[in-house]
Chains A and B, each alone.
Chain A
Amino acid sequence: MADSDGRQVVSINHSTEEDVKLQEVVQAKCEGKELTKEEKQRLRKEKKQHKKNKKDDRGPPEKEKEKEKASVLAPSKPATQSPAHKAAPVPVNASASESPVAAEKPAKSKAEQRAERRARQDTERASKQGKKEGGQQSASSKPKATPNELQPVKRLPEHIQVDDPAALKKLAKKLERQQVPLRSDYGYKVSLFSHLHQYSRKNPPTQQISIPATVIHPSIVRLGLQYSQGIIAGSNARSVALLHAFKQVIQDYSTPPNEELSRDLVNKLSPYISFLSQCRPLSASMGNAIKYIKKEISNIPSQCKEEEAKRRLQECIDSYINEKIILASEAISKYAIEKISDGDVILVYGCSSLVNHILCEAFEKQRKFRVIVVDSRPRLEGREALRRLVKKGIRCTYVLISALSYILPEVSKVFLGAHALLANGYVMSRVGTSQIALVAKAYNVPVLVCCETYKFCERVQTDSFESNELDDPDDLIVTRNGKTHLENWQTVKSLGLLNLVYDVTPPDFVDLVITDLGMIPCTSVPVVLRVKNVDQ
């Protein structure tokens, strides 16, 4: 079984590490040097850590079995919900009692890890040989489980580690602590994307939440539902809705006695954010908004009264939305309209709220242009963009993405919206955007990406596989003339349905990025990020 193998591998590593350390000690003794105080400390700490790891290895496999039981019971049909409800709380309660105990152990080991790392770095600066061997050991063992690392390893976010059982275990523990139900994955995942979550709309995240929602604020439950059903879609809409829900949460919040608002409110928001990410993975814009809110909350001075603090937070949220979204789109449309000349044929893809806004403004300013809306399955968002533009009075053509190379010779400019702009200049947007940019480059048509600065994020990605979102695979199923050929796709073992949501476009295909700070080349994104960080 993989479990026992994993344990074995870890224990082998431990033993080899111990051997190495012993060797070092022996070496040091042979060399006549006495073990330095630091080395003695380090050895003692490492011995303690090994003991703890052995205990942990025994503990988690048991918990994993219980989690499996709980997760198997949870997605049972509603008809059997009553017996399932009775049974599920029992294993959940049992593991809940264990989890606070286990939670303390990693906390202790983290502090120990830090101390150890410091001590080790000091000694290893002195002896190069030990550094090399220690590095090798840390690479082979799991970076999170063992403390024997040189540099602090960047933790990968959970939502792209779905095929790692340890990460899943950690997530399940965290959700249980926060009393947020775990949403189970659905259907067969294409192997290249098996590290991502794939949820089904038929299993809503509210299946296991009590009615009325008590643990999670009702407006957050409503928001999560709207995300998972796609009622609120699009980067800007999701951020605005999120901030609106947070405003209501802050409105209904009351500080418990002996607690400070600045610390307690942030803790209250964490389970809500976990719930929302279970409904639909958070977007980059939402992540930035949450960071901003948390910073604002923790900056509230402790002598501030609750009413005053709440009012201040509401104002912060309003000003954030006003500056970063509303005024930003005004600024962007001002810059973009300079780039639209009379007689232009503009190609847009999907439904980007920003691009639609730009085109509507340009039309109001009496520019003469026509628009080609390119659309793709299964979302077919272009229909909504088409509706808004035609309602305004703009002349539009509608094609599917398969007709792209046919229509491109007519196009003079391509305007694209973005979900996020990554730190290496790559543009993350709706799946299909990179195709459009590629073909446009082949036809020498300029590609302009419009993006507000609050969507810039510090991640670096060069391909669309590493971090993406898998939508409901049943959306790809089509019923025509009463026949649904893919109805039983799950029974065909060699068939997998893939419904990707995002893809990344390299900066070579993008000619200009229009932001509220001005028109910048794609490669200047890290500069903007650096300036933003300095400001904050």
Chain B
Amino acid sequence: MELQAVLMAAGGGSRMMDLTYNTPKPLLPVGNRPLIWYPLNLLERVGFEEVIVITTKEVQKALSTDQRLKTDVKLRLDVVCIQEEADMGTADALRHIQQKIKTDILVVSCDLITDVALHEVVDLFRAHSATLSILMSKVHEFTETVPGQKGKKKAGEQRDFVGVDVTGKRLLFMANEADLDEGLVLRKSIMRKHPRMLIKTGLLDGHLYCLKRSVVDFLVHNKCVTSIRGELVPYLVRKQFSKSLNSQNATEDSEKNQKQQDAHHNLELLSTSKDEALLQLARERSCWNDHRGDMSEAYHGGKLRCYVHIMEEGMCYRVNTLAAYIEANRVVPKLFEDPPIHPAAVVSERSLVGSDSIIGPLCQISDKTSIKRSNVGTSTTIKEKVKITNSIIMNGVTIEEGCNIQGSVICNNAVIGRGADIKYCLVGSGQHVEPEAERTNEVIVGSDQLMEI
């Protein structure tokens, strides 16, 4: 077997607590499908037959009961539950399932929606025998207004600095602005080996990683690494250029350094394979080099290589903020040729449903309602004379007569009283908006949720 897929679905959605305090992030509806369906669909399309899903108990229950997930997804799901309170990082989760992992792995995050040609990422991993291969994409500006955002958009999250070589494929440097104190520090060894480096900042990390099996074994030995993106990836990228064990200073004998040395030792040892001599011979006899201008052989003789595939065009969204969630809801329905109005929905003839809206199953749309550019979820009841524009209505919502909803996000099981006028608001799960309310640019959540923050 070549690759095993691991889907990380235990994240809490910490950057959009308003949406996720009642619904776990993998089950948030995007385009009337749970968020976790999209990476599963991607894996199924390229040919995976089974996936290891690491998630919480709630999501596991939903996976086995949700109609859409059961029927549409033909993969075999091997669900591993972890306690939500355990606060496991992604690397901890990999350590947890170490027994199941027998080959190289492809780690996907549950909030990734993309149409990337996955073979581009995996080909880099295969052809160069890379230790790590990641997916990145150009960041798209979000154009939709985000409810509840006061004032101009902040500078946004802190930037990622990604350094690639001239071919644009080899990953030389990766750091987040948060980790850099004053400036970007580049090691001389990198500059000596790759004098031309392109540093890009407008990139979004797709959280899709191809990792060699030896990395998982390395994680088992090094329990201090908790997060793949935060710690493991920058470590591996740095390790490409660190000095080999032979040249390390032998006088360093403090405990910590010894452990680090052992760790490094392990990683290098574990990455050798059988028949290494034959591979070495083939490489020697081959007249190919990945760089030119200096006197070293291909890959500078390094065994650890990290590659990145940067998507120039195509869709790649990580639904981890409210803005991304809204943008994804806008773009995603166009991808799949589902009928915009689900056959099980009851839509009255005197209502006006725009062509770029989608209606989920078991909805009830009454007369004289107008729905434009919106997504309406499952089992939603919309009474008469309601006007909905540019909004996202999740499942089980009741909207009474005469409401006017614009540019808003209404979460599961909310009730909007009659005649309410809601503009650019976020109505949390299970909330009731009183009749004749007029809310603009507000986040309406319950008091219990306020306490959580």
Q: Taking beta carbons and an 8 Å cutoff, which residues of A are in contact with B?
A: 78-79, 81-83, 85, 204, 206-207, 209-214, 218, 221-222, 225-226, 229-234, 236-237, 240-241, 243-244, 247-248, 321, 326, 350-351, 353, 381, 383-385, 387, 390-391
Tell which of B1, B3, B278, B288 touches A230, judged by Cβ atoms closer than 8 Å.
B288
Q: How far is the CA of A85 from the CA of B45 in the complex (A)?
A: 8
Q: Is the CB of B286 within 8 A of A207?
A: no
27 CB contacts below 8 A, A to B, read A78-B117, A81-B115, A206-B119, A206-B126, A209-B47, A210-B48, A211-B47, A211-B106, A212-B2, A213-B2, A225-B123, A229-B127, A230-B288, A231-B286, A231-B288, A232-B286, A233-B288, A234-B286, A237-B282, A237-B284, A353-B284, A383-B289, A384-B288, A384-B289, A385-B287, A387-B292, A387-B295
Nearest chain B residue, comparing its CB with the CB of A247:
B275
C-alpha spacing A81/B284, complex, angstroms: 38
Q: A3 to B129, alpha carbons, bound, how many Å?
A: 47
Q: Is B283's beta carbon under 8 Å from chain A? A: yes
Please indicate the chain B residues that have their CB under 8 angstroms from the CB of A229 in the complex: 127
Q: Which residues of B contact A243 (CB under 8 A)?
A: 278
Q: Encode B270-283 as 1/0 by CB contact (under 8 A) with A.
A: 00000100110111
Q: Does B337 touch A at the CB level, under 8 Å? A: yes
Given contacts A211-B2, A236-B285, contact A231 B128 (CB under 8 A): yes
Q: Which 7 A-B pairs have the closest CB atoms?
A: A210-B47, A78-B117, A351-B287, A212-B2, A237-B286, A218-B2, A237-B285
Interchain CA distance A206-B126 in the complex, whole Å: 11
The residues of B that contact A232 with a CB separation of less than 8 Å are 282-283, 286, 288
B122 located at the interface, meaning its Cβ lies under 8 Å from any Cβ of chain A in the complex: yes
Cβ contacts under 8 Å, B45 to chain A: 81-82, 85
| Chain A residues closer than 8 Å to B4, beta-carbon distance | 212
- A515 vs B210: C-alpha distance in the bound complex, in angstroms? 45
Chain B residues whose CB sits within 8 angstroms of the CB of A222 once the complex forms: 126-127, 129
Contact check, A353 vs B287: say whether CB atoms are below 8 A apart: yes
User: Which residues on B sit within 8 Å (CB–CB) of A210?
Assistant: 46-48
Q: Give the residues in chain A near B314, CB-CB below 8 Å.
A: 78-79
Q: Using a CB-CB cutoff of 8 Å, which residues 266-316 of chain B contact chain A? A: 275, 278-279, 281-289, 292, 295, 314
B82 at the interface (CB under 8 A from A): no
Given B1, B116, B126, B287, which contacts A221 in the complex, CB threshold below 8 Å? Answer: B126
Q: Does B362 contact A (CB under 8 A)?
A: no
B281's partner among A79, A240, A387 (CB-CB below 8 A) is: A240
A204–B119 contact, CB under 8 A? yes
Residue of chain A at shortest CB distance from B41: A82
Output the nearest chain B residue to A210 by Cβ-Cβ distance.
Answer: B47
Closest to B4 in A: A212
The verdict on A83 contacting B337 (CB below 8 Å), with A209-B119, A212-B48 known, is: yes
Q: Which residues of B contact A209 (CB under 8 A)?
A: 47, 119
Whether A241 touches B282, Cβ cut-off 8 Å, given contacts A81-B45, A248-B275, is: yes
B129, closest chain A residue (CB) = A222
Interface size for B (C-beta < 8 A) is: 39
- Choose among A225, A248, A350 the residue with the greatest number of B CB atoms under 10 Å from its CB: A225
What residues on A are CB-neighbors of B295 within 8 Å? 387, 390-391
Q: Does B118 contact A (CB under 8 A)?
A: yes
**Residues of A close to B119: CB separation below 8 A:** 204, 206-207, 209, 211
Q: Which A residues are in CB contact (< 8 Å) with B127? A: 222, 225-226, 229, 231
B110 CB to nearest chain A CB (Å): 19
Q: In the complex, what distance in Å separates the CA atom of A212 from the CA atom of B105?
A: 10
Asked if B278 and A247 make an inter-chain contact with CB atoms under 8 angstroms apart, the answer reads yes
Q: Which residues of B contact A (CB under 8 A)?
A: 1-4, 45-49, 103, 106, 115-120, 122-123, 126-129, 275, 278-279, 281-289, 292, 295, 314, 337
Note all chain B residues with C-beta closer than 8 A to A240.
278, 281-282, 285
Residue of B49, B123, B281, B287 with most partner-chain A CB within 10 A: B287
Least CB distance, B138 to chain A, in whole angstroms: 15
Taken together as a complex, chains A and B put the C-alpha atoms of A192 and B127 apart, in Å, by 33
On chain B, the residues within 8 Å of A244 by CB distance are 275, 278-279, 282
Contacts A206-B119, A383-B292, A387-B289: A212 and B282 contacting too (C-beta < 8 A)? no
Q: How far is the CA of A494 from the CA of B285 in the complex (A)?
A: 39
- A218 vs B3: C-alpha distance when bound (angstroms): 9
Residues of B within 8 A of A384 (CB): 287-289
Among A211, A214, A226, chain B packs the most CB atoms within 10 A around the CB of A211
CB distance from B140 to the nearest CB of A (A): 15
**A211-B3 contact given A81-B45, A204-B123, A206-B123, CB 8 Å threshold:** yes
Instruction: Give the distance to chain B from A64, nearest Cβ to Cβ, in Å.
Output: 28
Q: A81-B45, A244-B282, A353-B285 are in contact. List 7 more A-B contacts (CB 8 A).
A: A210-B47, A225-B126, A233-B286, A233-B288, A234-B286, A240-B285, A247-B275
Q: Please, which residues of chain B bring their CB within 8 A of the CB of A385? A: 287
Residue of A nearest to B276 (CB): A244
Knowing A78-B115, A213-B2, A214-B47, the reply to whether A234 touches B285 (Cβ < 8 A) is yes
Task: Say yes or no: B281 contacts A234, CB within 8 Å.
Answer: no
Name the CB-closest residue of B to A314: B275
Query: In the complex, A209 Cα to B122 Cα: how many Å?
Result: 11
Q: Contacts of A82 on B, CB cut-off 8 Å? A: 45, 115
A231 and B123 CA atoms in complex are apart in Å by: 13
Cα A460 to Cα B46 with chains together (Å):
44
CA distance A79 to B126 in the complex (A): 22
What is the CB-to-nearest-CB distance from B427 to chain A, in angstroms, rounded to a whole number?
34
Q: How far is the CB of A237 from chain B (nearest CB, A)?
A: 4
CB distance from A364 to the nearest CB of B (A): 16
Alpha-carbon distance between A65 and B338 when the two chains are bound, in angstroms? 30
Residue on A nearest B118 in the bound complex, by CB: A211
Cβ of B424 to closest chain A Cβ, rounded Å: 32
Asked if residues B282 and A233 are in contact (CB atoms below 8 Å), the reply is no
Contact check, B46 vs A211: say whether CB atoms are below 8 A apart. yes
Measured between beta carbons, the chain B residues less than 8 angstroms from A233 are 286-288
Distance in Å from the Cβ of A354 to the closest Cβ of chain B? 9
Knowing A221-B2, A222-B126, the reply to whether A234 touches B287 (Cβ < 8 A) is: yes
* Given A78-B115, A211-B122, A381 and B129 contact (CB-CB distance below 8 Å): no
Asked if A212 and B3 sit within 8 Å, CB to CB, the answer is yes
Rounded to whole angstroms, the CA-CA distance of A81 and B286 in the bound complex is 34
How many angstroms between the C-alpha atoms of A81 and B283 in the bound complex? 34
| Residues on A with beta carbons closer than 8 Å to the beta carbon of B3 | 211-212
Verify A207–B288 contact, CB threshold 8 A: no
Chain B's nearest CB lies how many Å from the CB of A408? 24
Distance of A210 Cα from B115 Cα, bound (Å)? 16
Q: State A351–B189 Cα separation when bound (angstroms).
A: 29
| Chain B residue nearest to A326 in the complex (CB) | B281
Q: How far apart are the CA atoms of A32 and B115 in the complex, in Å?
A: 79
A212 to B282, CA, bound (A): 25
Which of B1, B129, B278, B283 contacts A212 (CB under 8 A)?
Answer: B1
Chain A contacts of B288 at CB under 8 A? 230-233, 384
